[in-house]
Amino acid sequence: MVAYKDIQISNALINDANAPRVAVFVGGTSGIGKLTLRALVATGTSLRIYLIGRPSSEVRTRTFVQELQSINANAEVIWVEAEVSLLAEAKKACELIKSKECHIDLLFLTTGYAPFGIRQETSEGIEISQALSYYARVLFILHLLPLLKKAENPRVVNVLGGGLERTTSINVDDIDLKNPGSFGFTTAQPHYLTLNTVFLDKLATGHTDVTFIHSWPGWVNTGNVWRGLDANQSILSWAIWAFLDPLIRLLSFTDEEAGQRHLYICTSAAFGGCGVPWSGKAGTSTTGRVDEGLFLTNYKCESTTNTKVIPALRAKATPSVWKHTHEVLKPYM
Ligand SMILES: NC(=O)c1ccc[n+]([C@@H]2O[C@H](COP(=O)([O-])OP(=O)(O)OC[C@H]3O[C@@H](n4cnc5c(N)ncnc54)[C@H](OP(=O)(O)O)[C@@H]3O)[C@@H](O)[C@H]2O)c1
């Protein structure tokens, strides 16, 4: 485990020379995204942040933006309204950013929730939590990749479940979990996090100038487990209330530590070699390198190469996931 005091020491070294100057937060309206954004702004560096959020979050986010600007007058926070579970809206948000910026240093992705509810689709025909935790994220990455590649030290941080992927957790025959029995609260989240790793692992090999990180945050008490539940799921709600929620409260990082740990993941040279200098153990990517690739980081801020699983996923899943994802996203590129 990277000690919290070492994380704090590293974050205290963030300055205008090593901090992201242009950052995009998709999911920064709540939870880990919001905590990380607050920690980043509190470093006092000069930066511009695009904060993407849905219309229903606008009012409370305006208050948050005011708070951020009172913490750091050199931070410019631009609210971009978009219901990103809809890929057409996610595309529009990307187009807006592309029309304003020449480069992006940091793309931070956290949208989504534990898919404990029944399967519900967006008007574009995609299961909602899959749209948020997989397709919209990949869409943002693909659209913004040319701008990321123009940055000096670009980084994509995708928060879901890096390192938790297993060969059995992906359903390559039914990538959108549409068949009867495919979607369920034990199958969907492992499937979605594995899709993220499989896609990013391949993307990273073709774009070695961008550092990709798939983070598993451990427990952070953001209310995420409640988001996907329906009013009529009383037994599951009761089980979460009785067992899971107390466990989360007990084991969670404090909000402050969760924000600082993800700020470290966003800025430390431990991942990819550039950024805030790091004399501790360097992270290793899924290709076994310390200077490039996809880093699977866990709640301890350590990386795993997950070598028993990743090569098998490359053989079993990468071709179909890559092809299918591009087919789904094609109308929105
Ligand atoms: N928290 C944990 O302990 C934990 C553990 C493991 C994995 N994860 C995963 O890590 C990611 C980040 O977690 P978190 O706890 O920070 O998440 P969160 O606070 O519950 O939500 C993150 C973002 O998703 C957006 N969102 C949720 N439902 C939406 C919907 N139906 N339509 C549009 N946007 C929606 C939220 O927007 P609003 O602000 O507008 O609601 C928020 O910006 C999630 O994918 C989560 O599943 C979390």
Q: Domain spans of the chain?
A: 4-332
> What's the distance, CA 101 to chain centroid?
21
CA gap 58, 53 in Å, rounded: 7
Q: Which residues, other chains included, contact 8 with Cβ-Cβ below 8 Å and sequence gap of 6+?
A: 260
Give the CATH architecture of domain 4-332: 3-Layer(aba) Sandwich (3.40)
Closest Cα to residue 164, out of 313, 293, 306?
306
318 burial class (0-12, 13-18, 19+ CB within 10 angstroms)? Answer: middle
Identity of the amino acid at 134:
Y
Q: Measured in angstroms, how far is the CA atom of residue 277 from the centroid of ligand 1?
A: 30
- Are 77 and 49 within 8 A, CB to CB? yes
Q: What is the DSSP string of 220-260?
A: B-SSGGGTT--TT-HHHHHHIIIIIHHHHHHHPBPHHHHHH
List the chain pLDDT tens, one digit each, 333 residues.
999 999 999 999 999 999 999 999 999 999 999 999 999 999 999 999 999 999 999 999 999 999 999 999 999 999 999 999 999 999 999 999 999 999 999 999 999 998 988 899 999 999 999 999 999 999 999 999 999 999 999 999 999 999 999 999 999 999 999 999 999 989 999 999 999 999 999 999 999 999 999 999 999 999 888 887 776 677 778 888 888 888 888 889 999 999 999 999 999 999 999 999 999 999 999 999 999 999 999 999 999 999 999 999 999 999 999 999 999 999 999
The Cα 23–Cα 44 span in angstroms is: 14
The CA dihedral of 89, 90, 96, 101, to the nearest 10 degrees, is: 180
The H-or-E segment that residue 92 falls in is helix 87-100
Angstrom distance (rounded) from CA 55 to CA 121: 19
Instruction: State the CB neighbour count (10 A cutoff) for residue 317.
Output: 24
Q: Give the pairing type, strands 293-297 and 303-304.
A: antiparallel
Q: Ligand 1: distance of its center to the CA of 50 in Å?
A: 17
Q: What is the number of other CB atoms lying within 10 angstroms of the CB of residue 251?
A: 12
Q: Which atom of ligand 1 is nearest to the CA of 252?
A: 3
For ligand 1, the distance from its centroid to the CA atom of residue 259, given in whole angstroms, is 14
| Integer Cα distance of 118 and 112 in angstroms | 15
List all residues whose CB is within 6 A of at least one atom of ligand 1. Answer: 27, 29-33, 53-54, 57, 85, 110-114, 128, 132-133, 159-161, 217, 219-220, 222-224, 227
In terms of Cβ atoms closer than 10 Å to its own Cβ (0-12, 13-18, 19+), residue 35 is buried
Measured at the alpha carbon of residue 54, what is the angle toward residues 187 and 50, in degrees to the nearest 5? 105
Q: Return the best residue to mutate from 51, 81, 159 for the ligand 1 pocket (most ligand atoms within 8 A of CB).
A: 159
CA distances from 223 to 56, 149, 219, 246, 262 (A): 17, 35, 10, 12, 18
